[in-house]
Structure 1
Amino acid sequence: MLLPAPEVAALPVVHSVRPRLRVLDLLRFCAAFAVVLFHYGHTRAWGTPNAFPTLSAVTMFGVYGVRMFFVISGFVILMSAWGRTPGEFASSRIARLYPAYWASVIILGALAVVGLTTDHRPTLSELIANLTMLQHGLRIRDLELVYWTLWQELVFYVLIAVFAAIGFTYRRCLAFLGGWLVLLAIAERVDADLLQAVLVPFSAPYFIAGMALYLVHRFGGSLFPWLFVGAGWAVALVQVLGENPPAVQRFGQDLGSALVVGVISLIFLVMILVALGTFDGVDWRWLTVLGALTYPLYLFHHHVGYLLIGWLHAPLGRWLTLPVVLAAALVLAYGVHRLVEVPLQDRLRSALNRSLRADDGYSDRAG
């Protein structure tokens, strides 16, 4: 349904620009750490299917940490893209994602080629495809287990870049979110592969809710954004309850389903509180460091943890090995951030922005 024509009196009042939401750095790190605990608790590197029976009853819910990532992405990506051109947005995203990612493909690829940490030795074509981050779309195997989420993010970024070419406004965002939801349902109904590939149905309800919550944060809590938050929550629950998740298997159908609903609802509740400004007072600068560790920790933890757990659990025992491996993963993440991201991100972003202006001199000469 088309929205009514803009009227000055009907537009929400724009709030003044708020300081950096450092609580999002904390939430991103918590989501990543939950994923790490889930993988480390269930990896076959321990030599047993369940090395921590009691602990895994909690850490198994870390599998839902990626959902938190997607809600945060919806919020943050709309916030970062607002007021930027498509080129500027693309430059910022490429510079943010690729340096640490290339490092992970090179290092983890080398480990895999020599037969460490994986049963599959990647071919040259698989390594090259993974360097592009487009391997999922090319139907080529991910070098690392966690790379599948990056494809979801890339498709979302493309959608936002196209939206940026049109120009962001409050009402256009509402129309965008409504169209995305309707097309999701249509794609499922008609089994349209192309639509499903573009609309990323797994992560879409979280992206939609995150974008709607950013509208709440920026413009205030009018009804339409809240409707999209509620719709994203409902679609997310429908999806996750149909997956037969680990919690259902462990606790039984009724209790397991209730726990899953509680975890997903908690993710939405926390982000709602962020949007409402409840955590605006959380401005501890050290949280930015945690935020900086999140992406390299996510990229490297699985392979590195598998390798170290396999080496250490026999001599050290599982309860000493787990904190040692967690500490090693954090140290590695910090190293990648300082040695790869810090020196390369700004340079890459500057080079990309200069490339966008490459035709300026030609236009002047032609004139």
Structure 2
Amino acid sequence: MLAAAPRVAPDAPAILRGPSRLRVLDLLRFCAALGVVLFHFGETRAWGTPNAFPALSAVTMFGVYGVRLFFLISGFVILMSAWGRTAGHFAASRIARLYPAYWASVLVLGALAVGGLITDHRPTFAELLANMTMLQHGLRVRDLEIVYWTLWQELVFYVLIACFAAIGITYRRCLAFLGGWVFLLVVAERVDADLLQAVLLPFSAPYFIAGMALFLIHRFGGSMFPWLFVGAGWALAIVSVLGEKLPAVDRFGPALGSALVVGVISLIFLAMVAVAVGALDRLDWRWLTALGALTYPLYLFHHHVGFLLIQALHEPLGNRLALPVATAAALAVAYAVHRLVERPLQPRLRAALERSLTVDVTADVTQTPAPAPLAEAPAAYLPRGG
């Protein structure tokens, strides 16, 4: 048996029981972010050479697939956070979670770019403004930072889940939702429908779908339909990744390179399967929460922070010392953003958003007052007769 029997009634829309946080997910999120960091730091042109770490890059090149792990975790966590909530409260929690650190990132990186410290592109005011909304991808405006493209994928997914929450999330509706998503995803690819593809997210959908199914397994126990969706997500992910240009193929050859990529994607899925069935429940150390808190700001800030530091330090310190210094500096910046931006702003923003959901819309002070009742007519003006 891979999982226990269902823990709660399948169609109960109640809030989750049991521990409110799976700390092992914080560990996996941090590992995914660190993989992306090492991939970018190893590949950046700031070293002044196309391959500063020939041996190390054979490993760090697979850090690019950390983004796929992010999407898989998001499918699991976002369904968990939306369960039992209204669409409004879910939206408030997501906005408060995403925007404070993101705004800080846009402001800091925008200032660096406008000041000429980042020389690849100097954004216009319109580009900065579009990036502040996090909607720049939909507006066809250039991302200020290379990692922002994933945020559009997340935003569209959040909108889909918010619409689902407005209907009411239950176990059987989740199965129908996942089945419809898989079917329409394939149809959109078949007919080359741009609108459907924009909504259904063909790049990240296999991971979101599998992550949601794994949450159902975690919450209700293993049964055939959720496992089928996990398998479908894995199959779609493999088909998609093998259709991409794979640096591993150039490095290791077609057979071994493709096998390594399939192995990495499969390992990502296996890690989340282990979370879903409770095999990693013992990894519940409190300090993992701190790692999880660093993940989002580390992801947002590392690229240009690392670029500037590596560019400045690789000659005086040497490559082998500059790499850990740049990594430590990126972690320090992430910690500062978490303490100085996220911790004070997130609860205030969320509270303000949730208060706006409780406005009494029936008390409209601009409503036209009801006309006063007519005074009784004097006796002299009353009609005579019967």
For the aligned pair, the TM-score class normalised by the smaller chain equals: over 0.9
- 1:201 corresponds in structure 2 to 202
Measured after TM superposition, the shift of residue 11 of structure 1 is 4.5
Q: Deviations over 1:148-186 (max 9, x none)?
A: 000000000000000000000100000000000000001
1:117/1:304 contact within 8 Å kept = no
| Secondary structure of the structure 2 residue equivalent to 1:120 | coil
1:223 pairs with 2:224? yes
Distance 2:362 2:342 in 1: 31
Number of matched pairs: 359
Measured after TM superposition, the shift of residue 283 of structure 1 is 1.2
Per mean C-alpha deviation after superposition, the further-off stretch among 338-347 and 353-362 is: 353-362
Measured after TM superposition, the shift of residue 17 of structure 1 is 2.6
Distance 1:211 1:58 in 2: 29
- 1:247 corresponds in structure 2 to 248
Distance 2:10 2:298 in 1: 42
1:297/1:333 contact within 8 Å kept = yes
Measured after TM superposition, the shift of residue 361 of structure 1 is 6.8
Per mean C-alpha deviation after superposition, the further-off stretch among 27-36 and 245-254 is: 245-254
- Structure-2-length-normalised TM-score: 0.90
Distance 1:345 1:338 in 2: 11
- 1:18 corresponds in structure 2 to 19
Measured after TM superposition, the shift of residue 359 of structure 1 is 2.8
- 1:87 corresponds in structure 2 to 88
- 1:280 corresponds in structure 2 to 281
| Secondary structure of the structure 1 residue equivalent to 2:281 | coil
Measured after TM superposition, the shift of residue 12 of structure 1 is 8.0
- The amino acid that maps onto 2:353 is L
1:140 pairs with 2:133? no
- The amino acid that maps onto 2:221 is G
- The amino acid that maps onto 2:324 is P
- 2:372 corresponds in structure 1 to none
Q: Deviations over 1:45-93 (max 9, x none)?
A: 0001110000000000000000000000000000000000000000000
- 1:232 corresponds in structure 2 to 233
Q: How does 1:341-356 map to 2 (within 5 A)?
A: 341-356=342-357
1:325 pairs with 2:331? no
Distance 1:325 1:117 in 2: 16
- 2:39 corresponds in structure 1 to 38
Distance 1:99 1:356 in 2: 20
Evaluate the alpha carbon distance shift between residue 125 and residue 12 of structure 1 in structure 2; reply closer, same or farther with a 3 A threshold: closer
1:298 pairs with 2:299? yes
- 1:315 corresponds in structure 2 to 316
- The amino acid that maps onto 2:188 is A
Measured after TM superposition, the shift of residue 19 of structure 1 is 4.3
- 2:173 corresponds in structure 1 to 172
Segments of 5+ residues of structure 2 without an aligned counterpart are: 1-8, 368-386
Distance 2:144 2:176 in 1: 37
Measured after TM superposition, the shift of residue 16 of structure 1 is 4.2
Fraction of identical pairs, as percent: 77
Q: Deviations over 1:245-283 (max 9, x none)?
A: 111111000000100010000000000000001111211
- 1:5 corresponds in structure 2 to none
Per mean C-alpha deviation after superposition, the further-off stretch among 244-253 and 178-187 is: 244-253
Higher share of residues assigned helix = 1
2:11/2:170 contact within 8 Å kept = no
Distance 1:291 1:320 in 2: 26
- The amino acid that maps onto 1:29 is F
Per mean C-alpha deviation after superposition, the further-off stretch among 281-290 and 337-346 is: 281-290
Q: Which has the larger radius of gyration?
A: 2
Runs of 4+ displaced beyond 4 Å: 10-16, 363-366
Distance 1:325 1:128 in 2: 29
Measured after TM superposition, the shift of residue 360 of structure 1 is 5.0
1:120 pairs with 2:121? yes
- The amino acid that maps onto 2:154 is E
Segments of 5+ residues of structure 1 without an aligned counterpart are: 1-9
